[in-house]
Structure 1
Amino acid sequence: MEDSNYIRVFTGSFIISQRIVQDLEAAGINAIVKDESESGRLAGFGSSIQGQQDLYVNKDEQQAAAKIIEATASELDA
C-alpha cells in the first residue's frame, strides 16, 4: 500500500481484528482488512501464519483509530 492514504494500525488474530473493526465502524471509521493467509487459501496456496489480519485506516483517522484500538485491546485483556 505504498503511496496510499491508508496506514496500518493493527496486526493480530482474526477474532480481535473483527472486534476492532466493529468498534471502528461504530465510531464512523472505515477499516480495510488485509488477510494474506485467506487470500492465499482462496488462490490455492498455503501460508505459514494463519489467522493474522492487518487493519488499515485513512491517515486522517489514525489518531482516533489508535484510541479505539487501545481501548478495545485493554478491554479484551481484562
Structure 2
Amino acid sequence: MESHYKRIYTGSMIIVQLLTSKLEDIGITPVIKEQNESGLDPKIYGGHMLQEVFVHEDELDKAVPIIQAALADMEA
C-alpha cells in the first residue's frame, strides 16, 4: 500500500510537540508516530523514545519551511 505521507522530522517528544503546534497554526495536521530507538520497551529498559512527524505530500511545500524555521530558531 502506497503512503501519501512523508516524514519531515524525527526527534524528541518536546520538539515534536512544538513543531506540531506550528504546523497546526497554518492548518496542517501532522501524523505522529513513536519510534523506540533501542528497540526495547523504554519503560523496562530506559530507552529513548523518538517521534516521527509525517505530513501529507500535498502539504509538504507548506510544512518544510515551517519546520526549518522552527528548528533554526531553536539553534539561535
* Normalised TM-score (structure 1): 0.80
1:75 matched residue in structure 2: 73
1:21 matched residue in structure 2: 20
CA distance in 1, matches of 2:68, 2:47: 24
1:46 matched residue in structure 2: 41
Secondary structure of 1:36 counterpart: strand
Secondary structure of 1:53 counterpart: strand
Give 1:49 shift.
4.8
Secondary structure of 2:14 counterpart: helix
Higher relative strand content: 2
Give 1:66 shift.
0.4
- Unaligned stretches of 5+ residues in structure 2: none
Ranges of 4+ aligned residues in structure 1 off by more than 6 Å: none
Secondary structure of 2:3 counterpart: coil
What percentage of aligned pairs have identical amino acids?
34
Q: String of CA shifts for 1:37-73, please: whole Å, max 9, x gaps.
A: 3xx8xxxx61575131100000011111100000100
**More deviation, 25-34/2-11:** 2-11
- Unaligned stretches of 5+ residues in structure 1: none
- The alignment covers a number of residue pairs equal to 71
Give 1:5 shift.
1.2
Counterpart code for 1:4 = S
Distance 1:67 1:49, change over 3 A: farther
* Normalised TM-score (structure 2): 0.82
